[in-house]
Amino acid sequence: MSLAMAGGVSVAAQATAHASPGTATVKAAADSCAYPYVCLFKNGVKIGQFKDVTSTWQNLPSRPSGPNLVIQNTRRDDVAHIRWSTGTTTCIAPQRSFTVSGGTLTGIRISSSATC
């Protein structure tokens, strides 16, 4: 497991999210997350990175939450799944980013599947 987490993150009340590939925060994330990582950014600061394909969830000890949380998947043909505190999941396609506007994440899993 490749993991680098830093700092505590506040908890949001509701799990809501949206993709927003055109924002400055997403661009900053893409510029500082190298292949083959899936990186997490809070307010433009990298708080975690993962690179191992796993069949099980990797827990996020800091339980990051939105707003201003971006997940950047730099992998070329692997999807990344994120798990919310509610138990629901979201799939992030290869070479895409996902902006979390609210809600708390509890896990991440990188899959060798090329599509969500």
pTM, entire model: 0.74
Domains of the chain (ranges plus CATH)?
Answer: 18-111 (2.60.20)
Question: What is the CA angle 69-73-79, rounded to 5?
Answer: 120
Write down the mean pLDDT value for the chain: 80
**pLDDT at residue 4 is higher than 50:** no
Q: Given strand 38-42, what is the order of strands in its sheet?
A: 16-18, 96-102, 69-73, 38-42, 45-50
Per-residue pLDDT tens over the stretch 10-57: 222 223 333 344 455 455 545 689 999 999 999 999 999 999 999 999
